[in-house]
Amino acid sequence: MNFKRFKMPLFIVASLLFGIKTYIMYRFMFNLELENQMQEFILFINPFVTAFLIFAISVWFKKQSRQMKFIRYSALAGSLILYFNLVFYRSFNDFITAPQLFQASNMGDLGSSILTLIWVYDVLLFFDVAVIWYLSRKKPDILAVSYQKSGKVFALAMSFLLLAGNFFLAEMERPQLFTRAFDREYLVKNIGLFNYHVYDAAVHSKVKTQRVFADGNELPEITEYVDDKVKSEKKSPLHGIAEDKNVIFISLESIQSFVINNEVNGEEITPFLNSLVGDESTYYFENFYHQTEQGKTSDSEFLVENSLYPLSRGAVFFTHGQNEYHGLSEILGEEGYYSTVFHANNKSFWNRDQMYKSLGVEDFYGEAAYEVNAANSVGWGLKDKPFFDQSMKYLQSMEQPFYSKFITLTNHFPFELSEEDSSIDKYDSNSSTLNNFFPTVRYMDEAVEQFFNQLKESGLYEDSIIVLMGDHYGISENHNKAMSQYLGKDEITPYDHVQLQRVPMFIHIPGHGDGKVISKVTGQIDVKPTLLHLLGISTEDDIYFGNDMFVDDRKGYIALRNGDFISNEYISTSGICYNRDTGEPVASEEKAEEKAEDDTTTSGHNQDETPCNPIKQKVEKGLEMSDNIIYGDLFRFVDFNKTDNTKNDQ
């Protein structure tokens, strides 16, 4: 390289500035938990490794102007990628995936939600870009931009050497990092955000080809697994108890179970839902978990309709909306039910207009079906009370029996509500999100009570079963400090975080009389077979991954989409196996796996496994098979009306 007059290569300057900025963001703006010094070291070096790899490409440009232009725009593009991920992370505590880039059409509907995630001081995150542009345009004489061929080769070789070293350390710290990549945070911590995006794009390309090469031969193994490992041979004691009744399903936006039978500022948060917990016609599942991932509400719909797991990347509603499914709406339609969805949002949000057709939903009452104005809307749209009120005229005119789903809106981030609509005061903590959460939850509770009364007045109440389910969490890990304050804890541990993924689940059967609180571990994957059995509909020839929530011989665990799980005895998360009752760690799964590699018998069986490991293997198998169904669009090869479940024509 030519270092005459002590000129500093521009790509080195850019690498240092961009690397420092990226490390600061990793360390202090993303909530990346570091468990040891090796993780700290890897997190420190990977921003510089990536920056050097990108900016070193500039040395191969012959013209100085093109070299400087490449560095300037690379710094700007890299900073925008970092910033978009930061804004996304502030809301979802996650990183953007390739499929979500196709969900950009949703952004126009987010409104104030996005504005609350953009902070004034964010402009400082582009300081390095400004410096690079200033130096390249105003001070080019102090920078080295001309290199001999040997220097260019050296820069390229050093780039790949550093990258290989980064990957080697990452594999040492987290064996099988790429083959067991359930957790995007692990990838970002070990290989950096930009290399993660490259990896994610490669995975996306791979799975897009999976449908092309699928031929249905994958189905026998999946069917055998479902029949042997998932389905129960016993019939629910409530099988057929709601035969021919209407099904009214209420999706409760962003509510979590910690608000049930709890107070804020001395006031009940959910007085009506609390009354259902002890109601003789209601079954309340107190250990019911949401299992959504990046698709949030749409993922919860997907789980309920199909008893398949959502994808770990993106939203199935967007990425695979044209697949063949055997959804709850379709099955009920075959049994004479009229299926509808009520949601005061536009039909294209989450690609509902396409996906509902694939699921067999006959009619969608979206935003156009409602009178929405400034007085009756807030945040994401029509408030819940006028939403239910305006829905009644449609519900009363329907031919029975019907299956109607209502998706609420008011209790949605950023949890906006006027003082006039607020029945309880906000909480007082360092998190405005948590503070605002409680009044909007109360408002939703009051709206549901109003809806129950309207159903009774209309005469529909006695002829229906009413299901109320939380769709996903409302308070993310970014608000753990405020959450620990509210719950009276010193901190929110990984165990606590999993327990906070419990959402309310009520099945209300008017006039039943045997309702109770059920403590068994259940989840959204279980809703489809449960409802079908309550209605007396057979699921013998169906393919699904949940269990009837009223049977005892269940598979014994609930899998979260990131690979964590909750079983009857244990909770597995963050590489730690916890006792579910006490919250005490049983052992570190990572350490047990590492030790087991050197501590095996000749038969190859691990000698020092945690109690969570056998279940973890089942969880990974189930997630993989569900993914195969979606990525391969395998239900196009199935005729669910035939006992052998296979189509003759492919």
Active site residues: 297
Tell me the Ramachandran region of residue 513: left when phi exceeds 0, alpha when psi lies from -120 to 50, beta otherwise: left
What is the DSSP code (8-state) at residue 600? B
Strand 464-470 to 505-508 pairing: antiparallel
Note whether 589 and 612 are within 8 A (CB).
yes
Give the whole-angstrom CA distance, residue 476 versus residue 497.
9
Chain-centroid distance, C-alpha 114: 18
- Per-residue DSSP letters for 332-348? HHHTT-EEEEE-SS-TT
Q: Biggest alpha carbon distance in the chain?
A: 90
Note whether 360 and 339 are within 8 A (CB).
yes
Give the whole-angstrom CA distance, residue 610 versus residue 103.
40
Give the whole-angstrom CA distance, residue 542 versus residue 9.
64
Q: Provide the token pair at 478.
A: 């970014």
User: Which residue type, as a one-letter code, is found at position 649?
Assistant: D
Q: Is the N-terminal amide bond of 220 cis, ω within 30° of 0?
A: no
Give the whole-angstrom CA distance, residue 487 versus residue 483.
6
* SS3 (DSSP) at 398: coil
Closest C-alpha among 225, 239, 358, 300 to residue 525: 300
What is the DSSP code (8-state) at residue 7? P
Instruction: List all residues 6 or more positions away from 266 whose beta carbon is below 8 Å from its beta carbon.
Output: none
Note whether 247 and 337 are within 8 A (CB).
yes
Q: Provide the token pair at 635.
A: 């239900």
Tokens 């080195």 found at: 12
What is the DSSP code (8-state) at residue 99? G
Q: Provide the token pair at 644.
A: 């052998």
Give the whole-angstrom CA distance, residue 255 versus residue 411.
8
Q: What's the N-to-C CA distance of the chain in angstroms?
A: 62
Strand 557-559 to 565-567 pairing: antiparallel
Instruction: List all residues 6 or more positions away from 157 whose beta carbon is below 8 Å from its beta carbon.
Output: none
What is the DSSP code (8-state) at residue 612? T
How many other CB atoms are there within 10 angstroms of residue 304's CB atom?
A: 25
User: Which residue type, as a one-letter code, is found at position 424?
Assistant: I
* SS3 (DSSP) at 196: helix
Closest C-alpha among 508, 510, 522 to residue 462: 510
Q: Provide the token pair at 102.
A: 């196709």
Instruction: List all residues 6 or more positions away from 24 whose beta carbon is below 8 Å from its beta carbon.
Output: none
Quote the crossing angle between the two packed helices 149-173 and 184-191, to the nearest 10°. 140
Tokens 């055997």 found at: 326
Angle at 255 between CA 251 and CA 259, to 5 degrees: 135
- Bridge partner residues of 523 (DSSP): 289
